Protein backbone atom coordinates (compact mmCIF):
# COMPACT_ATOMS: atom_id res chain seq x y z
CA UNK A 1 0.00 0.00 0.00
CA UNK A 2 1.38 3.42 -0.95
CA UNK A 3 1.75 6.26 1.54
CA UNK A 4 -1.18 8.08 -0.09
CA UNK A 5 -3.42 5.01 0.01
CA UNK A 6 -2.62 4.62 3.68
CA UNK A 7 -3.54 8.26 4.34
CA UNK A 8 -6.79 7.99 2.38
CA UNK A 9 -7.73 4.83 4.21
CA UNK A 10 -7.30 6.58 7.55
CA UNK A 11 -9.25 9.64 6.43
CA UNK A 12 -12.06 7.61 4.91
CA UNK A 13 -12.97 5.95 8.17
CA UNK A 14 -15.86 8.41 8.26
CA UNK A 15 -19.29 7.01 9.18
CA UNK A 16 -21.40 5.78 6.28
CA UNK A 17 -24.53 7.26 7.85
CA UNK A 18 -24.86 10.98 7.27
CA UNK A 19 -27.40 13.55 8.40
CA UNK A 20 -29.14 15.46 5.63
CA UNK A 21 -31.90 17.86 4.76
CA UNK A 22 -34.19 16.57 2.00
CA UNK A 23 -36.51 19.14 0.43
CA UNK A 24 -39.63 17.70 -1.16
CA UNK A 25 -41.44 19.16 -4.14
CA UNK A 26 -44.73 18.70 -2.33
CA UNK A 27 -45.56 21.13 0.47
CA UNK A 28 -46.24 18.15 2.75
CA UNK A 29 -43.55 15.50 2.55
CA UNK A 30 -44.49 11.86 2.12
CA UNK A 31 -42.48 10.53 5.03
CA UNK A 32 -43.11 6.89 4.23
CA UNK A 33 -41.69 7.39 0.74
CA UNK A 34 -38.54 8.88 2.22
CA UNK A 35 -38.30 5.93 4.57
CA UNK A 36 -38.60 3.59 1.60
CA UNK A 37 -35.64 5.41 0.08
CA UNK A 38 -33.63 4.52 3.18
CA UNK A 39 -33.94 7.73 5.19
CA UNK A 40 -34.48 7.59 8.95
CA UNK A 41 -36.70 10.63 9.30
CA UNK A 42 -36.10 12.67 12.44
CA UNK A 43 -38.34 15.65 11.87
CA UNK A 44 -40.27 17.62 9.30
CA UNK A 45 -40.18 21.41 9.02
CA UNK A 46 -42.53 22.44 6.20
CA UNK A 47 -41.29 20.68 3.08
CA UNK A 48 -37.86 20.17 4.61
CA UNK A 49 -37.10 16.82 6.17
CA UNK A 50 -34.18 16.18 8.50
CA UNK A 51 -32.92 12.64 8.82
CA UNK A 52 -30.09 10.17 8.55
CA UNK A 53 -29.25 8.09 5.48
CA UNK A 54 -26.49 5.79 4.27
CA UNK A 55 -24.14 7.91 2.15
CA UNK A 56 -24.39 5.36 -0.69
CA UNK A 57 -28.12 6.07 -0.99
CA UNK A 58 -27.88 9.86 -1.36
CA UNK A 59 -27.55 9.69 -5.15
CA UNK A 60 -30.83 7.72 -5.37
CA UNK A 61 -32.53 10.24 -3.12
CA UNK A 62 -31.28 13.15 -5.23
CA UNK A 63 -32.64 11.60 -8.40
CA UNK A 64 -36.05 10.78 -6.93
CA UNK A 65 -38.96 12.62 -8.55
CA UNK A 66 -40.42 13.73 -5.22
CA UNK A 67 -37.18 15.27 -3.99
CA UNK A 68 -36.27 18.78 -5.05
CA UNK A 69 -33.00 19.08 -3.21
CA UNK A 70 -30.67 17.32 -0.80
CA UNK A 71 -28.22 19.13 1.46
CA UNK A 72 -25.72 17.48 3.74
CA UNK A 73 -25.71 18.67 7.31
CA UNK A 74 -22.38 20.36 7.99
CA UNK A 75 -20.47 21.13 11.14
CA UNK A 76 -20.71 24.71 12.35
CA UNK A 77 -18.11 26.36 14.55
CA UNK A 78 -18.63 28.69 17.51
CA UNK A 79 -17.78 32.28 16.60
CA UNK A 80 -15.64 33.19 19.59
CA UNK A 81 -12.08 34.30 18.98
CA UNK A 82 -8.98 33.65 21.05
CA UNK A 83 -6.96 36.64 22.28
CA UNK A 84 -3.79 35.28 20.66
CA UNK A 85 -3.67 38.26 18.31
CA UNK A 86 -3.64 40.67 21.26
CA UNK A 87 -1.70 38.58 23.78
CA UNK A 88 2.00 38.88 23.05
Partner 1 sequence: MKRSKSVIAKIDPLLTQLLPRTDKTIREIVTDWRARDLSAGFTPDSLMGEAVEVQCLMADMSDTAEQRLFEDNRINVLVSADDAEALAKEIDEWNDAEARPLSHSTLKVSVAPNNVTRLAVLENVRYIEASVKLELHCDLAHVSSNLYQSATRTVPQTGNGVLVGIVDSGIDTDHPAFIVNGATRILYYHDQITKQTYLADDINKGTVTPHDDRGHGTHVAGIAAGNGDIGTPYAGVAPAADLAVVKTTLESADVAAAIQDIFRFADERGQPCVVNLSLGAHRGAHDGSNVMERTIDDLSGSGRIVVTSAGNAGTSRIHASTVLTVGKSNRWVADFELTLQLINEQTFGDLEVLIWNQHEDKIDVSLRSPNGDLFTAPQQNDQEFTKTVFKVVASHRIAAYSGDHQTSFRIITLAKPELLTGWSVIVQGVDVQVGAVHAWIVDTKMGAFTSGNTQSHLVGMPGTAYSAITVASYATRRNWLSADPQNLKVAYNTITLEDISYFSSPGPTRDGDTKPEIAAPGQYLIAPLSSHAPLSAVPTRMRMKNCQYAASQGTSMAAPYVTGAIALLLEKAPAIDWAEAKRRLIKSCRQDSFTSFGWNPKWGYGKINIRRLLEVEPK
Residues near partner 1 (CB under 8 A) are 2-4, 7-8, 10-11, 19-21, 23, 42-43, 45-46, 48, 50, 59, 68-69, 71, 73-81, 83, 85-88
Q: What is the CA radius of gyration of the chain?
A: 18
Residue 8 CB, nearest approach to partner 1 (Å): 6
Residue 42 CB, nearest approach to partner 1 (Å): 7
Q: What are the Cα distances from residue 18, in Å, to 28, 29, 84? A: 23, 20, 35
Residue 66 CB, nearest approach to partner 1 (Å): 13
Amino acid sequence: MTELEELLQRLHSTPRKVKIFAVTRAARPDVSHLQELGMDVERVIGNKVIGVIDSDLIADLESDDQIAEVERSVMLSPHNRSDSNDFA
